[in-house]
Structures are given as structure tokens and as C-alpha cells.
Amino acid sequence: MSQDLELLIALQETDRQLAECQTKTRQFAIERERIESEFQHHIAAYTTAQTNLDAVRRRLRDLESDLVHFQSQFAKYTADLQRVRNQREYETAIREIDTAKKSVAQCESKIAEARAEAAKLEAEVALHAPEIEKRRAETDAALAENARAEAAYLAEVERIRVRRREMETKLSKTWLTNYTRVAKLRGGHVMAQVINGTCSACRMRLRPQVYSLVRQGIGIHTCDSCGRILFYRPEGSATASAEQVAAAGADS
């Protein structure tokens, strides 16, 4: 078999590996999302308590400022009472004092409720905090492991790419052009093994003369029907790996 044909087969194998790599590279990102979302799931109770606590604290601040307002109103109307000149002014002052007093009482009661609720939520947050720290540490460790595996994997992918570029330089320009053209047409599936005189990709029977040449490894031939590049392997023969072909090519 010619070196070009061996290189073409190896190129096909390399491209198959690179296509697999694309899928696997996406899987690292999917795994990262899964790890993070698992963490979010575990801390949901904590997150809810913390969000509610923030809301209660905001409400408490508003209520406390309302209380100051109502207390100052109460003080003002109480002072007004000292200055009334007639029965009508007296009644108005009494009514306003009464309203302010009720508002103060209502406000104080709401503040007490909010403080109790905040205390409950603070306890809940504090209860979950150590668990969160543990989970966060575990999550960070899992993410670091994912990043390490991805980096190692990407380095391997880069080695495959380098090997592919080496093959390209060794392959004759004509066959490289042919390979690229068929790859575009056939979704990357360029090479077709001949089995029982038939193109294994499109099932077209080869002309006897072409079959004979392909079997003997004389020249490089393409399938009349699908245009793929044909190769023949005697039954039981081992297929040279892409690495072996690249290495062999380097020696020649």
C-alpha cells in the first residue's frame, strides 16, 4: 500500500478522534454546570433563608423609621395639648394624640414580630452555614478537578492536531485536496474500506479491474458512486494507528 494511502487512512482516523474531542470538550462544560447546579440545589434552604432574612431586615429598618416618625408626632400633639385655647382645639389634640399613640403601638408590635422573624431566620442561616462551607469546598474541589482534566485533555487534543499537521505536510498535495473536498461532501467520512468487492460506505460494487488494483494496493482509487477513497485490508490484518503512520512517515 502506498504511503499516501496509509497517510489518508491515518488522517481519517485522526479526524475521527478530533470529532470525538469536540463532543468531549463540550462535556467538560456540561459537567461544570452540573457541579455548580448541584451546589445550588444543596444550598437552596440556606439561600431562601438568607433572602428572607434580607427582606425582613429591610422591613425592620422601614418600621423603625416609621416609629421615630409616629413618636415625634405623638410628642408634638402632646405639646399642642398644653397650648389649646378652646374645647374644639382640645378635642382635636386629644384625637391626634390618640391616633399617634395607636400608630406607635402598631408599629412597635410589627417591629417585635419582625425581630422575632429575623432571629428565627438568623438561626436558620447560622445552622446551614457550616454545611454551606463544606459544600462550597467540595464544589470548588470538583471544579478544580474538572479544570485539571480539561487542561490535560486539551493538551492531548493539541498533540493530535500537531500530528494531523505533520500528516498534511507529508501527504501529496493532490490527495490532500481530494481528501478535504470529499470530507466536505461526506460529512468527514472520506475513507471507505472495500469488503467483498464492494464499497463499504455506499454498497456499490467495484469494477473488477479497480477491485483488483485496490486489493493489490496499486495506486489510489475512489468509489465511482460516492467518491470516497477506497482501501483494502486483508481479513485479520491489523490497522496501523495514526501515531504509527505519522511516526513511519517521519522516518521516510
CB 252 within 8 A of CB 3: yes
- Among positions 43, 100, 176, 199, the unique one binding Zn ion when judged by CB under 5 A: 199
List the Cα angle 91/96/100 in 5-degree steps: 150
Size of the site for Zn ion (CB under 5 A): 7
Residue number, 38 or 224, with CB nearest to Zn ion: 224
Reduced to 3 states (helix: H, G, I; strand: E, B; else coil), residue 82 is: coil
What burial letters (b/e) apply to 206-219, b meaning 16+ CB within 10 Å?
A: beeebbebbeeeee
CB nearer Zn ion, residue 103 or residue 225:
225
Distance (Å, whole) CA 17 – CA 93: 89
Q: Please, what is the minimum distance in Å from the beta carbon of residue 8 to Zn ion? A: 15
Per DSSP, helices labelled H in 43-86 are 44-81
Q: Closer to Zn ion by CB, 118 or 191: give it.
A: 191
Residue 226 near Zn ion by CB under 5 A: yes
Applying CB under 5 A, among 202, 213, 240, 248 the residue interacting with Zn ion is 202
Between 143 and 183, name the residue whose CB sits nearer to Zn ion.
Answer: 183
Rg (alpha carbons) of the chain, rounded to whole number: 40
Spell out, one character per residue from 163 to 192, where the chain touches Zn ion: x when CB under 5 A holds, - when not. Answer: ------------------------------
CB of 233 to Zn ion, least distance (A): 16
User: Residue 126's Cα: distance from chain center in Å?
Assistant: 31
Select the span of 11-19, 73-81, 200-208, 242-250 touching Zn ion (CB under 5 A): 200-208
Restricted to residues 7-66, the positions that interact with Zn ion (CB under 5 A) are: none
- Please identify, using beta-carbon distances, which residue of 172 and 222 lies nearer to Zn ion: 222
CA angle 203, 205, 209 (to 5 degrees): 145
Query: Which of 31, 225, 233, 240 is close enough to bind Zn ion by CB under 5 A?
Result: 225
Residue 92 or 198 having the CB closest to Zn ion: 198
Contact window for Zn ion (CB under 5 A) among 54-62, 77-85, 163-171, 197-205? 197-205
**Residue from the set 223, 229, 245, 246 that interacts with Zn ion by CB under 5 A:** 223
Contact stretch for Zn ion (CB under 5 A) within 55-63, 150-158, 172-180, 223-231: 223-231
* 3-state secondary structure labels for all residues of 163-221: HHHHHHHHCCHHHHHHHHHHHHHCCCCCEEEEECCEECCCCCECCHHHHHHHHHCCCCC
Burial of 5 (0-12, 13-18, 19+ CB in 10 A): buried
Residue 200 CB, nearest approach to Zn ion (Å): 8
End-to-end CA distance of the chain: 15
Give the integer Cα–Cα distance in Å for 114 and 126. Answer: 18
Q: Does 229 bind Zn ion (CB under 5 A)?
A: no
Point out which residues bind Zn ion (CB under 5 A): 199, 201-202, 204, 223, 225-226
